[in-house]
Amino acid sequence: MKSKGTRYLALPYIVWMCGFIVIPLLLVLYYGLTDRSGTFTFDNVRKIMLAENFRPLYLAMGLSAVSTLLCFLIAFPLALILRSRKVGKGSFVAFLFILPMWMNSLLRILAWQTLLERKGVINGILSSLHLPEQHLINTPAAIVLGMVYDFLPFMILPIYNTLIKIDDNTINAAYDLGAGFRETLLRIILPLSVPGIVSGVTMVFVPTLTTFAISNMLGGGKVFLIGNVIEQEFMLNSNWNLGSGLSLILMVFIIMSMALLSRYDNGEDAIL
């Protein structure tokens, strides 16, 4: 009786998953592997080999890898500091870092646009100090800045969550056995936080690889990522087939990088 009841409980989720995940994916697969007339073809997928499509993919991988690395380098020490605080204070500091997540991400990127613009806030301050104005916006660096700023909390939270689960005495035991801070960090704390790091990397790498909004707003159309190419095919050229074909390629890259990551994760406490 009970098992029947629980089976029906899952029904809404199954309907949801079919309607909003499986069917759209199948549609992408269909469009990606057909031409406008509906005949089966690999042309759309093969077009990734064209420089105009390949270079944005290459650039997107590079920028999102750099952003992910930067996020990790900022987030890990921060999460360590948060962990070492007593609960009350720590959670307030954690709250400060999570706070930006409650704001629309586009709005936050828009704010950076205002700051970085040629006649923006930063250059305004520089010129009032009689310093040379800097070319800030529409550079890969500006996009990386936006990516790091936007996705940093997604790196901090999972790492912090695994760090607070490490027993104080496990760390004390390492010191007790003669390890200094560096050795304790490398041999105990870092290996034990791998599940959190894997989650964090996933949660930063995937959205930064596919973003088109950040590169639109901070790249000013001059820095073209794979996300922008796909968006353009759908919105501007109305070529759903090519857009879907390139999306499939992107998906393959994401699945490959996830598979690579999962080898480092014993799959216990990871969020994803």
Partner 1 sequence: MVPQTLRGFYELEKALIDLQGITKSFDGEVILDDLNLSILENSFVTLLGPSGCGKTTTLRIIGGFEKPDKGRVFFEGKDITNVPPNKRQLNTVFQKYALFPHMNIADNIAFGLRIKKKPENYIRDKIKYALKLVNLDGYENRSVESLSGGQQQRIAIARAIVNEPRLLLLDEPLGALDLKLRQEMQYELIRLKNELGITFIYVTHDQEEALTMSDYVVVMNQGYIQQAGTPEQIYNEPENAFVADFIGDSNIVPGVMLKDRLVRIFGADFHCVDSGFGENKPVDVVIRPEDVEILPPDDPKGILHGRMSHIIFKGEMYEMECTSSDGFEWLIHSTEMHEPGKEVALYVKPSNIQIMNKPASEDEEAIGVEE
Q: Is 133 in the site for partner 1 (CB under 8 A)?
A: no
Which of 127, 170, 237, 238 contacts partner 1 by CB under 8 A?
170
Minimum distance, C-beta of residue 112 to partner 1, in the bound complex (Å): 39
**Interface size with partner 1, residues (CB under 8 A):** 17
Q: Is 88 in the site for partner 1 (CB under 8 A)?
A: no
> DSSP assignment of the chain, as one string?
-HHHHHHHHTHHHHHHHIIIIIHHHHHHHHHHTB-TTS-B-SHHHHGGGSHHHHHHHHHHHHHHHHHHHHHHHHHHHHHHHHHHS-HHHHHHHHHHHHGGGGS-HHHHHHHHHHHHSTTSHHHHHHHHTTPPP---TTSHHHHHHHHHHHHHHHHHHHHHHHHHTS-HHHHHHHHHTT--HHHHIIIIIHHHTHHHHHHHHHHHHHHHHH--HHHHHHHTTTS--HHHHHHHHHHTS--HHHHHHHHHHHHHHHHHHHHHHHTT--SSS---
Which of 78, 159, 174, 270 contacts partner 1 by CB under 8 A?
174
Nearer to partner 1, 34 or 184 (CB): 184
Nearer to partner 1, 44 or 184 (CB): 184
Minimum distance, C-beta of residue 174 to partner 1, in the bound complex (Å): 7
Which of 177, 236, 259, 260 contacts partner 1 by CB under 8 A?
177
User: Which among 67-75, 92-100, 187-195, 199-207 is the span making contact with partner 1, rule CB under 8 A?
Assistant: 187-195
